[in-house]
């Protein structure tokens, strides 16, 4: 229960002034620009965009600066800013098959048209702290090579495997309305499109832990990484006043195609099933975890028993949003004086009753004496 409390205005104002000064840190150290955060803390910016569910690198970088680097606080700022803006429309669905790739790997197929391209990755680094980064040394320039002839057209791995019928096809677009959880509350059972929207903006740590749980045996789905691709996709909208589509520019996204163990029933021969992940920026861990959880949430659809948390839609979707979670957890620190006063009164009364019963009970009285 919330109770109106007066007082503390001056303390609050001064706390915020102290916050501003503390945020700035030692004034002898140069102030950090938003552009520096955007460029050099890019994966953090990407995470705030993904979980804030708003692509705007400068805004996410500014939010991180304001939040002193607290991801969930930055997500809060981005989500709050979002509510001040009108919705102007929706893009055509992005074509990830036509992505300008900066990275593309498959753990299932070695020889792919277009090849395996590592791009800027932490994979295969030794995870030794690089002390030279501390002294501002410029990095060695990136190597260059002539792109191979097939580099321009890199079909999704799932398109290749799908042609052979070994892989279940993606759910067909029948023109049904697309659920939007920012407009309507989630109804259970939730449609896969709504689940993916929720997972995309869900907390990386939570989704990661759930994905991990499926690998450890809580709803095993035997996953393989069919493909991870990172790069730029073009956005297009068709404004009503124009009547034709216009290019908005491109955004960076990460897509993960998870391939999972077989399913087949009746007339359908056994085939691999799939989980899908798509996030803003370079967010492989999140895209992979999302794909794992997407697949496990399909349990009912694929005739699997729903027995573990990662298969339970309501458990996953109702708890994956970091902002909702932190709102409910953190509100506990706000004044609950009257609530607690009521609880205090109750516990005092119970203790008094307990004491009175003890006096009446000969065994307890004896023990007390």
Of 233, 204, 184, 248, the C-alpha closest to 75 is: 204
The verdict on 360 binding other proteins (CB under 8 A) reads: no
> Which residues are CB-neighbours of 98 under 8 A, at least 6 positions away?
233, 234
- Considering only residues 248, 338, 350, 352, which one is a binding residue for other proteins as defined by CB under 8 A? 248
CB 72 within 8 A of CB 64: no
The residue range among 1-9, 34-42, 211-219, 277-285 that interacts with other proteins, by the rule CB under 8 A, is 277-285
As given in the structure block, the two tokens for residue 142 are 């990136």
Q: Smaller CB distance to other proteins: residue 232 or 306?
A: 232
Residue closer to other proteins (CB basis): 261 or 364: 261
Binding-site string for other proteins from residue 176 to residue 215, where x marks contact by CB under 8 A and - marks none: x-xxxxx---------xxx-xx--xx--------------
Min dist. Cβ of residue 307 to other proteins (A)? 25
CB-wise, 196 or 293, nearer to other proteins? 196
Helix (H, G, I), strand (E, B) or coil at 57: helix
Q: Which stretch binds other proteins (CB under 8 A): 66-74, 144-152, 209-217, 333-341?
A: 144-152
Q: Which CB sits closer to other proteins, 2 or 262?
A: 262
For other proteins, which is the closer residue by CB, 107 or 218?
A: 107
- Tell me the two tokens of residue 297: 């949430």
Distance CA 338, CA 2 (A): 8
Footprint of other proteins on 307-336 (CB under 8 A)? none
Nearer to other proteins, 154 or 210 (CB): 154
Instruction: Candidates 107, 166, 209, 235: give the one binding other proteins (CB under 8 A).
Output: 235
Does 102 sit near other proteins (CB under 8 A)? yes
Task: Quote the least distance from Cβ 336 to other proteins, whole Å.
Answer: 35
Say if residue 55 is preceded by a cis peptide, omega within 30 of 0. no
241 binds other proteins (CB under 8 A): yes
Choose which of 21, 159, 345, 353 interacts with other proteins (CB under 8 A): 159
Alpha-carbon distance of 11 to 28, in angstroms, equals 27
CA distances from 41 to 202, 250, 253 (A): 20, 20, 16
Q: Applying CB under 8 A, does 273 fall inside the site for other proteins?
A: no
**Site mask, other proteins, residues 5-34, x = CB under 8 A?**
------------------------------
Separation of alpha carbons 280 and 43, rounded Å: 10
Q: Are 211 and 289 in contact (CB under 8 A)?
A: yes
Does residue 254 interact with other proteins by CB under 8 A?
A: no
Query: 49: number of CA atoms within 13 Å, CB side?
Result: 24
Provide CB contacts within 8 A for 312, sequence distance 6+: 306
Q: What is the Cα Rg of the chain in Å?
A: 26
Contact indicator for 259, 190 with CB cutoff of 8 Å: no
If binding is defined by CB under 8 A, does position 361 make contact with other proteins?
no
Which of residues 87, 126, 216, 333 is near other proteins by CB under 8 A? 87
- Which of 46, 53, 74, 76 is in the footprint of other proteins by CB under 8 A? 53
Q: Which residues is 260 bridged to in the sheet?
A: 273
CB of 58 to other proteins, least distance (A): 7
Peptide bond into 251 cis (omega under 30): no
Q: Closest separation between CB of residue 82 and other proteins, Å?
A: 7
Site for other proteins in 57-76 (CB under 8 A): 58-59
The enclosing H or E element of 202 equals: none
Could you tell me the smallest distance in angstroms from the CB atom of residue 78 to other proteins?
10
């Amino acid at each position: 229960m919330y109770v109106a409390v007066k007082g503390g205005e001056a303390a609050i104002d001064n706390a915020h002034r102290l916050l501003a000064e503390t945020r700035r840190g030692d004034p002898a150290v140069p102030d950090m620009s938003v552009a520096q955060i955007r460029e050099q803390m890019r994966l953090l910016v990407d995470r705030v965009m993904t979980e804030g569910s708003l692509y705007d690198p400068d805004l996410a970088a500014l939010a991180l600066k304001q939040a002193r680097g607290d991801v969930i606080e930055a997500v809060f700022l981005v989500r709050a800013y979002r509510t001040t803006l009108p919705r102007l429309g929706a893009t055509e669905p992005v074509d990830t098959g036509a992505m300008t790739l900066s990275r593309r790997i498959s753990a299932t197929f070695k020889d792919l048209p277009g090849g395996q391209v590592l791009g800027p990755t932490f994979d295969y680094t030794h995870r030794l702290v690089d002390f030279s980064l501390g002294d501002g040394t410029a990095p060695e320039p990136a190597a260059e090579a002539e792109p191979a002839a097939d580099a321009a057209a890199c079909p999704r791995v799932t398109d290749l495997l799908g042609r052979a019928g070994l892989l279940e096809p993606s759910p067909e677009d029948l023109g049904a309305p697309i659920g939007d959880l920012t407009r309507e509350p989630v109804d259970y059972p939730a449609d896969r499109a709504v689940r993916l929207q929720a997972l995309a903006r869900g907390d990386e740590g939570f989704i990661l832990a759930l994905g991990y749980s499926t690998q450890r045996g809580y709803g095993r789905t035997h996953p393989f990484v069919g493909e991870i691709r990172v790069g730029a996709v073009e956005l297009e909208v068709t404004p009503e006043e124009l009547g034709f589509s216009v290019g908005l520019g491109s955004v960076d996204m990460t897509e993960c195609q998870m391939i999972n163990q077989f399913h087949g029933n009746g007339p359908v021969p056994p085939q691999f099933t799939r989980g899908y992940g798509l996030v803003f920026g370079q967010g492989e861990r999140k895209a992979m975890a999302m794909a794992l959880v997407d697949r496990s949430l399909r349990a009912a659809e694929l005739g699997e028993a729903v027995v573990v948390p990662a298969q339970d839609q309501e458990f996953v979707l109702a708890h994956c949003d970091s902002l909702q979670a932190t709102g409910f957890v953190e509100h506990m620190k706000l004044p609950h004086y009257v609530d607690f006063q009521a609880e205090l009164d109750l516990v005092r009364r119970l203790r008094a009753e307990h004491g009175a019963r003890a006096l009446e009970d000969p065994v307890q009285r004896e023990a007390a004496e």
